[in-house]
A and B are shown apart, each in its own frame.
Chain A
Amino acid sequence: MQFTFFHLMPYRPLDMVERHKHRSGWVVLPNALYDPKKGADEYQSYIDQLVYAEKLGFDVIAVNEHHQTAYGLMPAPNLIAANLIARTSKAKIAIIGRALPLVNNPVNIAEEFAMLDNLSRGRIVTGFVRGIGNEYHSTGINPFFSHERYQEAHDLIVQAWTKPGPFSFEGEHFNIRYVNLWPRPYQSPHPEIWIPSMGSSETVKWAAAPERKYPFLVTFSARDLIARYLNAYRDQARAYGYEASPNQVGFASPVYVADTDERARKEAAAGIETLFNDFLATPFQMLLPPGYSALQSMKNTMRMRKALGATKRHTIDELMASGTVVVGSPKTVRDHLARLRDDTQAGKLITMLQFGTLSDELTKRNMEMFASEVMPHLRD
């Protein structure tokens, strides 16, 4: 397996009492709750963790983009990537991803990735996402056109990387007279593109298409869903007439390892529960604005929610039982991950070893335990 150390960079000093006076930790959470001195410390800790991950033998270190939220302090993840390039030498640096529909000129994204690829001499992995529903509230971009903008922006960026410039791009949303990238990407034909996803069938179909074969990563989902979506991708590849390689499928999970199951559960509980209940939690109309998902899938989601009734706080036990998080002794974690790998032939594991309010000290221990007790057993 290929191992990625992924960071969200949550703002841990968040006052959780104040947080719950607002409808979400996104968009409307007053930024008076952000203390720049504490925030600067957070950046330093988190970048140190990413750099340390390379020393521990992770193949990839990864960041992503989120806006106007305490959930993740990286509205501009390429700035972190640039910093990581200077402080590392071997690891791939993945930006998974940039939210394509949220920008007004996707050529900027193509340019920045090309710059990073040159600066790192080809260590960049890119990720293309649509952004979370909240981000259509924070940017004002119309969620109804999210899919269209994503497809167009994708085409524009890939063409900007591969097609001799200058050329014109004529889209419904992006109409650019001169596309002529200076610099071009270092890797040929271009950096890898990974597709983090919540598993929508449209995305599976698109990512698995033979002309793309983009690695498909199921993020923060229950074990059964991870297996179902990854196998849907494999089935789709077969329907296209080829067998997906292990490198084409992966999943992202919060992981916590300690010497015993009991200790792991105890140490991870607060971090896991704050991640899901305080940082991530957001109301339906913010998470899924109209048009963000296809009408039919949103109808299904609404029926499901109606059946489930009011949402309550998630507990670590419930998240462990569903396999949304992987927490336990080295043996427990190894067995869980090995089984999922065997069930899905997944070749990519995106670990999130710092989550929610988990402290620097426990994060470091978790990273070391994972690297020494779990990673070697799952290497090919």
Chain B
Amino acid sequence: MPGTESKHKVRDVNVRMLRGGDGPPVLFLHGANGLPQWLPFFEMIAARCDLRVPEHPGYGTSDNPAWLRDIGDLAMYYLDFLDALDEPKVHLVGQSLGGWTAAEMAVRNCTRIASLTLLGPAGLRVKGIPCGDNFIWDAEENVRNLFHDQSIADRLLAMPVSDDDADIALGNRFTTAKLGWQPRWYSPALERWLHRITVPTQVIWGENDKLFPKDYAARWGERIPGCTVTVIPECGHIPAIEKPDITAKKVLELVGRS
């Protein structure tokens, strides 16, 4: 059953939001490519939880407020977003750019965060191991390099792209550049403050991630107290798409424990 779609307003910003399922509240923050359709992974989470998936300000058909200048602004927006929910705490799950946002939220304030799952998050620099350059990759590379299983890339690349889809993808890319181009995919201060994350936290990484190599996972694990690290074999940058079963299982386990 696909999630229901609505407009959700927090302060001056309307965002598109998908929602499905019943149970403990989970908030999923999407990656740089924007809000995908209702994924099998979402279905697995929604089977046991009340899952909300907002489309970030600056992406898709959500508002694009002028105040959104950097990743810290996006994190502060989502702290407002949590305050405005009718829930004392939510379980936070973030993919890549969304994982970075979730970590930036958690170092600022964990009060409304029940647990934190970071899926191949951006946000840290590991010297000597540069991230892949998704801005210099062409359109095809930008699909192929995200997946270990190239049949997924083949399928995505074979899908027709309407002008509207192309326009949305381009708008998303503008916001992604704004947030991630400089410094490339990290905040210099974030690593210094990761010890402030005091909620149960896990990091999940694709062993074959070409955007953020799996070595980054260990750094997150070292810096966040009590953080567990799972590296999934034969998996690229998006475990939620490439290995939905194990990823959903890990998320639900942490939700169950926290």
How many residues of A are in contact with the other chain, CB < 8 A?
A: 24
For B139, list chain A residues within 8 Å (CB).
Answer: 285
Query: Interface readout for A318-342 with B: 1 if CB under 8 Å, 0 if not?
Result: 0000000000000000000000000
Closest-by-CB residue of B relative to A286 is B136
Question: From A303, which residue of chain B is reached at the shortest CB distance?
Answer: B163
Q: Bound state CA distance, A69 and B137, in angstroms? A: 18
A171 close to B (CB within 8 Å): no
Of the candidates B136, B138, B166, the one whose C-beta lies within 8 Å of that of A137 is B136
Q: How far is the CA of A303 from the CA of B170 in the complex (A)?
A: 11
Is A142 interfacial (CB 8 A cutoff)? yes
Q: Which of B138, B163, B182 contacts A140 (CB 8 A)?
A: B182
Residues of the B chain whose Cβ atoms lie less than 8 Å from the Cβ of A222: none
Which residue in A137, A143, A302 is a CB contact (below 8 Å) of B170? A302
Q: In whole angstroms, how far apart are the Cα atoms of A270 and B166 in the complex?
A: 37
Question: Separation in Å of the B131 CB from the closest CB of chain A?
Answer: 13
When the two chains form their complex, are residues B178 and A291 in contact, meaning their CB atoms are under 8 A apart?
Answer: yes
Tell whether, in the assembled complex, residue A144 and residue B177 are in contact, meaning their CB atoms are under 8 Å apart. Answer: yes
CB contact under 8 A between A285 and B137, given known A142-B181, A144-B181: yes
A284, B138: Cβ atoms closer than 8 Å = yes
Tell whether, in the assembled complex, residue A144 and residue B174 are in contact, meaning their CB atoms are under 8 Å apart.
Answer: yes
Q: Are B171 and A144 in contact (CB under 8 A)?
A: no
Q: Is A299 an interface residue (CB 8 A)?
A: yes
Expressed in whole angstroms, the Cα–Cα distance for A295 and B171 within the complex equals 7
Contacts of B198 in A (CB 8 A): none
B167, B171, B181, B182: which has the most chain A beta carbons within 10 Å? B181
User: Is A13 among interface residues, defined by CB-CB distance under 8 A?
Assistant: no
Residues of chain A from 108 to 151 with CB closer than 8 A to chain B in the complex? 136-137, 140-145
Question: Interface 1/0s, chain A 290-311, versus B by CB < 8 A?
Answer: 1100010011001100100000
**What sequence of 0s and 1s flags, for each residue 168-185 of chain B, a beta carbon within 8 Å of any chain A beta carbon?**
001101101110011110
Task: Please tell me if the beta carbons of A290 and B176 are within 8 angstroms of each other in the complex.
Answer: yes
Q: How far is the CB of A39 from chain B (nearest CB, A)?
A: 25
Is A183 on the interface with B (CB-CB < 8 A)? no
Instruction: Tell whether, in the assembled complex, residue A291 and residue B177 are in contact, meaning their CB atoms are under 8 Å apart.
Output: yes
Is the CB of A176 closer than 8 A to any CB of chain B?
no
Q: Is B193 an interface residue (CB 8 A)?
A: no
Q: Which residue of B lies closest to A292 (CB)?
A: B177
Q: Given the known A-B contacts A290-B174, A290-B176, A299-B167, are A137 and B135 also in contact in the complex, defined by CB atoms under 8 Å?
A: yes
Q: For B181, what are the chain A residues with a Cβ–Cβ distance below 8 Å?
A: 136, 140, 142-144, 289-290
Q: Please state if B174 and A291 are interface contacts (CB–CB under 8 Å).
A: yes
Number of interface residues of B (CB under 8 A): 19
- Is there a chain B Cβ closer than 8 Å to A283's Cβ? yes
Interface residues of B in 220-250 (CB under 8 A from A): none
- Min Cβ gap B246→A in Å is 33
Residue A33 lies at the interface, judged by CB distance under 8 Å to chain B: no
- A71: shortest Cβ distance to chain B, in Å? 17
Give every chain A residue within 8 A of B176 (Cβ-Cβ).
290
**Are A295 and B174 in contact, with the CB atoms below 8 A?**
yes
A100 in the interface, Cβ–Cβ < 8 Å?
Answer: no
Does A28 touch B at the CB level, under 8 Å? yes
Asked whether any CB of chain B lies closer than 8 Å to the CB of A27, the reply is yes
Give the residue name and chain of the A residue nearest to B139 (CB).
A285
- Which interface residue of A23, A145, A285 has the most chain B CB atoms within 10 A? A285
The residues of B that contact A27 with a CB separation of less than 8 Å are 136
8 A-B pairs with least C-beta separation: A290-B177, A144-B178, A142-B182, A142-B181, A290-B173, A290-B174, A144-B177, A291-B174
Extra inter-chain contacts (10) besides given A144-B177, A285-B139, A303-B166, CB under 8 Å: A140-B182, A140-B184, A142-B177, A290-B135, A290-B177, A295-B170, A295-B171, A299-B166, A299-B167, A303-B163
Chain B residues within CB distance 8 Å of chain A: 135-139, 163, 166-167, 170-171, 173-174, 176-178, 181-184
16 intermolecular pairs with C-beta atoms under 8 Å apart: A23-B136, A136-B181, A137-B135, A141-B182, A142-B178, A143-B177, A283-B138, A285-B137, A285-B138, A290-B135, A290-B173, A291-B177, A295-B174, A299-B166, A302-B166, A306-B166
